[in-house]
């Protein structure tokens, strides 16, 4: 659609339009809770009234640290409807990691749960310095010094729905919708700022391209803290009027039973999800005939997997996509009629209305078939990094191009194949891992003098971390001790699966750790 014809919209407009269009049709089913689109909009307004009562002003940051539950969505759209800025937190974070994001964003409010999979989030923050945080609310369960979700909502009774409408009408498409933090090669997480209009347009385009429909029952396994579960998840579902079914914690048997019970038609996720479904010994006991649409990526997708997803699992449409947080989560997408080889071997081509190019080290476009850094441009590109003009200037270059830091090859039809990562990032089960961040944490461990981390192949997770460590003393530290310590300091997917001890780390001529040499040693099993 030409730029001059597109009418930009805000998130509260999208939810209100969905309520008007889909009314009594199911919007969310989460256990015993079932909300129609009209009820979801009413819940949004009730939530927004509570945020106004709590003193939230336009531009204030609201953090959510919770698993996939319906309250997550209601809290988010309530805050966003009156100008609040959403800051999602990874549920696998430890206290120190979450505290860094809360401090960096200046979050005024935190919405969490009392406990999830043994992690007691409020307790994990008890000894952290959080000068901006004024209020913590538990979406489920009770915790010390936290307000319950029910009490938070009840306080909004003193605020009129008309005040919510007034605040929502004052929001412009160019106003900030969220800040998603993503780590860079410096090891310091950076806050990616995106606005209402660009997110709505990105996922209108994404959902139309992949073929998401209003009659889809959308099983959202991807976590809400990630753009795949949030933006390509519940936001895209609301835009299209699909039925949202959040998964609290991935359990293969439960997922198979739910596909049959709820006639699930849409399941996105990394390849490991589909490989697990195919490998299940009792898969034939479940009715999977409702499956229709799969969107995958974040790891290599074998041709045979695409074929089995279609022929064995019964998906009518299987597509792959590529994106990063700085592009609202989407850079390129395959099309529904692409063949298995193209879906397997590429990450699609640019979304309609956006551009991709591969460039050399001087920023000049390279010819089709020639490897180069992938640059993207269009309405999906972030506004800037929060409070980080230097990093912004390094990433957003002249004429609106976003430097992705990824290396790829583009064919004559504009389809991109990712071949490397300038930033050394590797992906563990769909989660991005950045070596410098892990290295910085490892070097805080007593007994470690230096550490370097690379990603190594893993049959189940795609890639996992391997740490190369130089001991501070000649003895007293072994692999088990390092791994055990790391589990207490960082999210599980970041924890090194193996540790190699060296007398010295190999260095290049520039005085930096030679990661190429480490990769060679790893491949040769040299320790």
- At residue 115 the predicted structure's pLDDT band, cuts being 50, 70 and 90, is very high
Residue 353 has phi, psi (to 5 degrees) of 90, 0
Rounded CA-CA distance 527/513 in Å is 16
- Cα 485 from chain centre: 26
With a cut of 60, say whether residue 527 has pLDDT above it: no
pLDDT for 510 equals 44
Rounded CA-CA distance 403/392 in Å is 10
The pLDDT of 101-117, averaged and rounded, is 97
Q: Which residues contact 39 (CB under 8 A, 6 or more apart)?
A: 27
With a cut of 90, say whether residue 220 has pLDDT above it: yes
For the chain, domain boundaries: 3-213, 426-523
Query: What Rg, from alpha-carbon coordinates, does the chain have?
Result: 23
- DSSP element (H, E) containing 162: helix 161-169
Q: Among 46-50, 106-110, 352-356, 502-506, which stretch is predicted with the lowest mean pLDDT?
A: 502-506
Structural contact between residues 16 and 136, judged by C-beta atoms closer than 8 angstroms = no
- The 10s digit of each residue's pLDDT in 280-324 is 999 999 999 999 999 987 666 778 889 999 999 999 999 999 999
With a cut of 60, say whether residue 337 has pLDDT above it: yes
Rounded CA-CA distance 151/165 in Å is 22
pLDDT for 345 equals 84
Half-sphere CA count of 480, side-chain side, radius 13 A: 1
Q: Among 73-87, 187-201, 434-448, which stretch is predicted with the lowest mean pLDDT?
A: 434-448
With a cut of 90, say whether residue 410 has pLDDT above it: yes
- The 10s digit of each residue's pLDDT in 66-92 is 999 999 999 999 999 999 999 999 998
CATH superfamily of 426-523: ANL, C-terminal domain (3.30.300.30)
- At residue 186 the predicted structure's pLDDT band, cuts being 50, 70 and 90, is very low
With a cut of 80, say whether residue 184 has pLDDT above it: no
Nearest-10 crossing angle of helices 303-311, 271-279: 60
Question: What tokens does 258 get?
Answer: 């739910």
Residue positions counted in the chain:
527
- The 10s digit of each residue's pLDDT in 455-474 is 999 988 899 999 999 887 76
Question: What tokens does 377 get?
Answer: 């441009």
Predicted structure pTM score: 0.85
Q: Among 239-248, 346-355, 413-422, which stretch is predicted with the lowest mean pLDDT?
A: 413-422
The pLDDT of 500-524, averaged and rounded, is 79
The CATH number of 3-213, from 3.40.50.720, 3.40.50.980, 1.20.1250.20, 3.40.50.11810, is 3.40.50.980
Question: What tokens does 164 get?
Answer: 């919510």
């Amino acid at each position: 659609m030409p730029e001059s014809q597109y009418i930009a919209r805000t998130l509260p407009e999208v939810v209100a339009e969905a309520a008007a269009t889909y009314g009594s049709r199911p919007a969310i089913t989460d256990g015993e809770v079932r909300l129609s689109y009209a009820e979801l909009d009413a819940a949004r307004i009730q939530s927004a009234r509570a945020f106004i009562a709590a003193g939230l002003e336009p531009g204030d940051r609201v953090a959510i640290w919770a698993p996939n539950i319906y309250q997550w969505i209601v809290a988010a759209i309530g805050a966003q409807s009156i100008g609040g800025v959403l800051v999602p937190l990874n549920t696998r974070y430890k206290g120190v990691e979450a505290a860094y994001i809360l401090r960096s964003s200046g979050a005024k409010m935190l919405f969490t749960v009392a406990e999830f999979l043994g992690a007691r989030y409020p307790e994990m923050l008890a000894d952290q310095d959080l000068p901006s945080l004024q209020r913590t609310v538990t979406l489920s369960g009770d915790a010390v010094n936290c307000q319950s979700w029910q009490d938070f909502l009840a306080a909004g009774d003193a605020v009129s729905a008309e005040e919510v409408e007034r605040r929502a009408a004052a929001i412009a498409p160019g106003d900030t919708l969220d800040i998603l933090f993503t780590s860079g090669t410096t090891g310091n997480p950076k806050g990616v700022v995106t606005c209402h209009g660009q997110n709505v347009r990105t996922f209108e385009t994404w959902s139309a391209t992949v073929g998401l429909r209003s009659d889809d029952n959308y099983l959202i396994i991807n976590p809400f803290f990630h753009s795949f579960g949030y933006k390509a998840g519940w936001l895209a579902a609301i835009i299209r009027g699909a039925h949202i079914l959040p998964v609290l914690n991935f359990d293969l048997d439960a997922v198979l039973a739910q596909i049959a019970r709820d006639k699930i038609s849409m399941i996105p996720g990394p390849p490991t999800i589909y490989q697990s479904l195919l490998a299940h010994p009792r898969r034939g006991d479940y009715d999977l005939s409702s499956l229709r649409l799969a969107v995958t990526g974040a790891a290599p997708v074998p041709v045979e997997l695409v074929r089995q997803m279609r022929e064995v699992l019964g998906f009518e449409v299987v597509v792959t996509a590529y994106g990063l947080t700085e592009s609202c989560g989407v850079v390129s997408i395959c099309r529904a009629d692409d063949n298995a080889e193209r879906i397997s071997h590429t990450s699609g081509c640019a979304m309609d209305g956006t551009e991709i190019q591969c460039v050399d080290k001087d920023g000049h476009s390279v010819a089709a078939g020639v490897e180069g850094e992938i640059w993207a441009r269009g309405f999906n590109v972030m506004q800037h990094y929060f409070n980080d003009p230097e990093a912004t200037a390094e990433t957003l270059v002249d004429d609106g191009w976003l430097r992705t830091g990824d290396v790829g090859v583009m064919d004559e039809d504009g389809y991109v194949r990712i071949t490397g990562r300038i930033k050394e990032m590797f992906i563990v089960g769909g989660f991005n891992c950045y070596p410098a961040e892990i290295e910085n944490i490892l070097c805080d461990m007593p007994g470690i003098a230096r550490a370097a981390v690379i990603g190594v192949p893993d049959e189940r997770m795609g890639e996992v971390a391997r740490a190369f460590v130089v001991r501070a003393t000649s003895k007293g530290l072994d692999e088990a001790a390092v791994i055990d310590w790391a589990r207490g300091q960082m999210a599980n997917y970041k924890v090194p699966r193996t540790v190699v001890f060296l007398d010295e780390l190999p260095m290049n001529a520039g005085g930096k750790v030679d990661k190429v040499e480490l990769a060679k040693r790893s491949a040769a099993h040299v320790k």
